[in-house]
Amino acid sequence: MRGGETAVGGEFDARQWRKRFPVFENKIYLNSCSYGAVATDVRAAYEAYLTDREREGSYWDHWVGQNEELRASIARLLGATPAEIAITASLSAGLNALVSSLDFSGKRNKVILSDLEFPTVGQIWHAQKRRGARVEIAAREGGRVPIENFEALIDDETLIVSITHVSYKNGARNDIPAIVALARRHGAMVMLDSYQAMGTFPISPQTLDVDFLAAGVLKYLLGSAGLAFLYVRQDMIGKLEPLATGWFAQKDIFAMDHTANEPADDARRFEAGTPPVPNVYAALAGLKIIHEVGLENIEAHVRGLTARVKQRALDEGFTLATPTDPAAHGAMIALKSTDMVELTQRLEREDIVTSYRDGNLRISPHFYNIEDDIDATMAALVRHRDLLA
């Protein structure tokens, strides 16, 4: 087993797990690429936070302990050490802290992105142009970015390659090992945005040989908006000192010293101010479910559901925006639409929850979905084929 997951005895049964997600009482929920379904466990975690507030008032020792428990749970998910994990309020916050620690003043100042990045990632790197960064983007062809387009840009002046694991636009999965190999050949660092991948298959930053990995908990990890994390490889931590910082990034959180900045010796140095405590409760509850289900079980189950979406779509003559090779996409399948907003709204009126981006309808199953969800959604799309390309 990889990433610390726990196998479930016997055959995987999605119907048993979905009982813990009340949304399925009224909806067909296929929008985990945007926001994971809320589990009864997560609702109970929020209620536990409020109970603790009412009973204890301020409960700082407990909350700091919860934050450390979350750090350990994320480390277990990645097969990393807690010292390599920073808890942040968003992926943007973690990336901004990381970027603030980099030096763009020398000849090695190029940043390579792909044409599949989430906007915040590109925006943060482009903002560094004022500090001397040169940002170049590997163009996509069709639904993916060919490795040749990375090869044409990555050179000995490249400081870092910042790439998405799975694209929010169409679910395409970058060839991470090949891109990392190119970066290493030229001495460049690698930052991996795994937000659209985390929680759908085992991910090991060590195996992938990336320096940094960022993700959040609101999608397939079943938590809440307002909490994310940054992995920093152990041997990189001491080499980087963020300019974006805060009291939870200090070596001694409770020193309360306003006269100096003394960053933590571990990845906490990439954190900032007071952690989002309610979201820590929720994230712990969501991650506990993921550990219980097991990433390998999730990967196998989701792969079966996405295969069903692709096959039904092709049978109906719909146009896939997602690569058909299962190794080339994540848990989200995108269909080209002539009016993605109207199509999503029509499905909503039939109690089918999906989402849209980049001219595509996005269908994203998770371990709590079943084949009936796919079949009902595809039947609805047949009724609305006038909005499909």
Contacts of 50 (CB under 8 A, 6+ apart): none
Between strands 134-138 and 110-114, the pairing is: parallel
Positive or negative CA dihedral for 268, 213, 169, 99?
Answer: positive
Per-residue pLDDT of the chain (389 residues; tens, 9 = 90+): 233 333 333 468 999 999 999 999 999 999 999 999 999 999 999 999 999 999 999 999 999 999 999 999 999 999 999 999 999 999 999 999 999 999 999 999 999 999 999 999 999 999 999 999 999 999 999 889 999 999 999 999 999 999 999 999 999 999 999 999 999 999 999 999 999 999 999 999 999 999 999 999 999 999 999 999 999 999 999 999 999 999 999 999 989 999 999 999 999 999 999 999 999 999 999 999 999 999 999 999 999 999 999 999 999 999 999 999 999 999 999 999 999 999 999 999 999 999 999 999 999 999 999 999 999 999 999 999 999 99
| Residues whose CB falls within 8 Å of the CB of residue 93, separated by 6 or more in sequence, listed in order | 228, 244, 272
Query: What is the predicted pLDDT for the residue at 6?
Result: 33
- Find the length of the chain: 389
DSSP element (H, E) containing 111: strand 110-114
Residue 209 C-beta-side C-alpha neighbours within 13 Å: 13
Domains of the chain with CATH codes = 14-40+294-387 (3.90.1150.10), 45-290 (3.40.640.10)
The answer to whether 286 touches 217, Cβ cutoff 8 Å, is yes
Residues 152, 153, 157: CA angle, nearest 5 degrees: 130
pTM confidence score: 0.94
